[in-house]
């Protein structure tokens, strides 16, 4: 095991003008200037007939290192932390491909099932496609929040057979049950309300597509789970929709089987974990202890940083620690 702080040559210096975890968390989605990237979209058809859209950036070179980037809950390949990382990877000569989980690319997906924190089967299918598309490219992966949880679960499940050279996971909800409790406390309830609104809209958009296209079996499968109103917490939503749609008996079963903390000891791929102790979505005791980590896993636990925040610099020239630390780690 290897629990480390940030390397001395690249310490994280939290922006003095963003005190507290919430300003760090909110800066990225609301105030960061969007990087402008030329990307190529590819639609990957999955074995079950559904699709995942992939957005490519960087050199179209068979041997260039390739990084797969996984967004978080209610995000997409257009999330600013995804764009920022793809921009920095291209600057060091790397290709990257950003996933849009099912239904997250601006178009509802084709099946009742959705994306969720345990969807390592979808990740495995994407990675298999990348191996076939660029068999000579060294393959890496980076996951944020929900995407980080899926990635760590996949790394633990595949163990020594994992095809990835290196991986990084940021602001991970290691224990989904505890994080569902944490986001219901204090100011974090504002985030909970935002997520509930977005997730209900995700299901409603899908129901409308099924209605429009006459896919009555699919529509019935969603409608049979219950109404779209009356859900205030993650426990409510995951118990009514996520668990039964994806083969779990209830929310508790889903949280237990999908939480990445239980998969960490089996990871053999060199993996960097970046977490803030003040993450408003994750209790400090939800972050794994050094004794739980495999010998190939490095934990950077910072006192500050919020959730996928880690903003540095000045108000006029903000900088993003993740955009420099992650490419450095992958290339090292």
Are the beta carbons of 139 and 66 closer than 8 angstroms?
yes
pLDDT digits (tens, 9 = 90+) for 71-95: 999 999 999 999 999 999 999 999 9
| 287/249 Cα distance (integer angstroms) | 26
Tell me, what's the pLDDT at 10? 74
Measured in degrees and rounded to the nearest 5, phi and psi for residue 54 equal: -120, 135
**Share of residues in the chain with pLDDT > 90 (%):** 97
The yes-or-no verdict on residue 8 having pLDDT over 60 is no
The pLDDT, as a whole number, for residue 58 is 98
CA distance 303 to 107: 38
User: pTM of the full predicted structure?
Assistant: 0.96
Query: H or E segment at 192?
Result: helix 188-212
CB 83 within 8 A of CB 55: no
The answer to whether residue 4 scores a pLDDT higher than 80 is no
Q: How far apart are CA 44 and CA 68, in angstroms?
A: 14
pLDDT score of 141 more than 90: yes
DSSP 35: P
In terms of Cβ atoms closer than 10 Å to its own Cβ (0-12, 13-18, 19+), residue 34 is exposed
Assess whether pLDDT exceeds 90 at residue 286.
Answer: yes
For the chain, the average pLDDT equals 96
DSSP 48: T
- Structure token pair of residue 136: 């000579």
Active site residues: 145, 279, 307
Q: Could you tell me the CA-to-CA distances from 50 to 1, 43, 69, 122, 183 in Å, in that order?
A: 39, 10, 20, 10, 31
Q: Where are the domains of the chain?
A: 2-175+261-331
Please, what is the end-to-end C-alpha distance for the chain in angstroms? 19
CATH code at 2-175+261-331: 3.40.50.1820
Q: Is 282 exposed, middle or buried (0-12, 13-18, 19+ CB in 10 A)?
A: buried
Nearest one of 62, 13, 9 to 332, comparing CA atoms? 9
In a 13 Å sphere around the CA of 247, the CA atoms on its Cβ side amount to 6
Reported as a single tens digit per residue, the pLDDT across 25-71 is 999 999 999 999 999 999 999 999 999 999 999 999 999 999 999 99
Structure confidence at residue 9 (pLDDT): 56
Tell me the mean pLDDT in the region 153-168: 98
Average of pLDDT values for 235-263? 98
pLDDT tens-digit series, residues 223-234:
999 999 999 999
Q: Can you give the pLDDT at residue 7?
A: 45
With a cut of 60, say whether residue 295 has pLDDT above it.
Answer: yes
Measure CA 320 to chain center: 17
């Amino acid at each position: 095991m290897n629990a480390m702080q940030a390397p001395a040559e690249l310490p994280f210096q939290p922006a003095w003008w963003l005190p507290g975890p919430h300003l760090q968390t909110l800066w990225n989605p609301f105030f960061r200037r969007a990087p402008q990237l030329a990307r190529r979209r590819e639609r990957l058809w999955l074995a079950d007939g559904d699709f995942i859209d992939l957005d490519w950036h960087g050199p179209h070179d068979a041997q260039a290192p390739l990084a797969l980037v996984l967004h978080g809950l209610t995000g997409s390949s257009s999330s600013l932390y995804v764009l920022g990382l793809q921009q920095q990877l291209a600057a060091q000569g790397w290709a990257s491909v950003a996933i849009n989980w099912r239904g997250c690319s601006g178009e509802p997906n084709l099946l009742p099932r959705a994306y969720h924190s345990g969807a390592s089967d979808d990740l495995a299918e994407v990675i298999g496609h990348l191996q076939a598309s660029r068999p000579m490219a060294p393959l890496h992966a980076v996951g944020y929040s929900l995407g980080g949880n899926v990635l760590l679960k996949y790394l633990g499940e595949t163990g020594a057979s994992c095809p990835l050279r290196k991986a990084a996971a940021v602001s991970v909800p290691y224990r989904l049950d505890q994080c569902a409790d944490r986001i219901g406390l204090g100011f974090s309830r504002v985030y909970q309300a935002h997520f509930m609104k977005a997730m209900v809209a995700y299901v409603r958009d899908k129901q409308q597509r099924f209605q429009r296209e006459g896919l009555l079996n699919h529509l019935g499968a969603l409608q049979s789970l219950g109404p779209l109103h009356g859900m205030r917490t993650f426990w409510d939503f995951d118990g009514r929709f996520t668990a039964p749609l994806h083969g779990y008996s209830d929310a508790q079963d889903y949280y237990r089987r999908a939480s990445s903390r239980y998969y960490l000891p089996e990871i053999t791929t060199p993996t960097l974990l970046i977490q803030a102790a003040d993450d408003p979505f994750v209790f400090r005791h939800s972050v794994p202890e050094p004794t739980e980590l495999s010998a190939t896993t490095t934990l950077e636990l910072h006192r500050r940083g919020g959730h996928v925040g880690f903003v540095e610099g000045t108000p006029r020239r903000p900088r993003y620690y993740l955009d420099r630390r992650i490419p450095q780690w992958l290339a090292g």
